[in-house]
Amino acid sequence: MSTPFIVPRIAASDSLVLRPWRLDDLPLVREAAEDTYIPLVTTVPSPYTHAEGVAFIARQEDRALSRKGYPFVMAEAAGDRGLGMIGLWPDAAGEGRASVGYWVPGSARGRGIATVGLRAVSTWALRDLALARVELYVEPWNTASRKTAVHAGFTYEGHLRSHQSVGGERRDMLLYSRITADLTDADG
């Protein structure tokens, strides 16, 4: 049997940590379930029930155990309260690439959480996991996520037409990436 992925605890800044999911993160899942977009592009249950929330958290543990990826909670460094999710999903073919996805529910938005979390997880992937490339797919209308990508050091590479299905409709995606050569001294 192959070794499970271990989701580490990463200090993203003085105020933000990335850590594994825990059962007491249910309020975070509950708030994300009320968002109009997050359940469309994730497996966050909508409508929310306690049982579905527990199953969502169990799925995150399974994703690491089955080597599908590294699902993190972005949490307050002081107190550990969950503020959002970020996940790193290495390509199964072992080509040194991974994709990344993230969400922050409404009450925690606009405080730089996604930007700091994305920079930290991509730096960890490129430096500690020695991956060569981290990719991010963003819908063209999603200004907040496009800004997050650029502020976190990602480079825009192109517009992918009809790239994936979202809510039953084909949608275009913008492709961003961060590669090993993009690491700077500021990344430690």
Ligand X SMILES: CC(C)(COP(=O)(O)OP(=O)(O)OC[C@H]1O[C@@H](n2cnc3c(N)ncnc32)[C@H](O)[C@@H]1OP(=O)(O)O)[C@@H](O)C(=O)NCCC(=O)NCCS
Residues that bind ligand X (CB under 6 A): 37-38, 102-104, 109-115, 138, 142-145, 147-148, 151
Considering the complex, state which of residue 131 and residue 174 has its C-beta at the smaller distance from ligand X. 174
Half-sphere exposure of 16 (CA within 13 A, CB side): 22
Minimum CB distance to ligand X, residue 167 (Å): 13
Minimum CB distance to ligand X, residue 138 (Å): 4
Minimum CB distance to ligand X, residue 2 (Å): 29
Minimum CB distance to ligand X, residue 86 (Å): 9
Half-sphere exposure of 117 (CA within 13 A, CB side): 32
Considering the complex, state which of residue 26 and residue 108 has its C-beta at the smaller distance from ligand X. 108
The 8-class DSSP code of residue 87 comes to E
CA distance 5 to 16: 22
Considering the complex, state which of residue 129 and residue 144 has its C-beta at the smaller distance from ligand X. 144
Q: What is the CA radius of gyration of the chain?
A: 16
At a CB cut-off of 8 Å and minimum separation 6, what does 157 contact?
Answer: 175, 176, 177
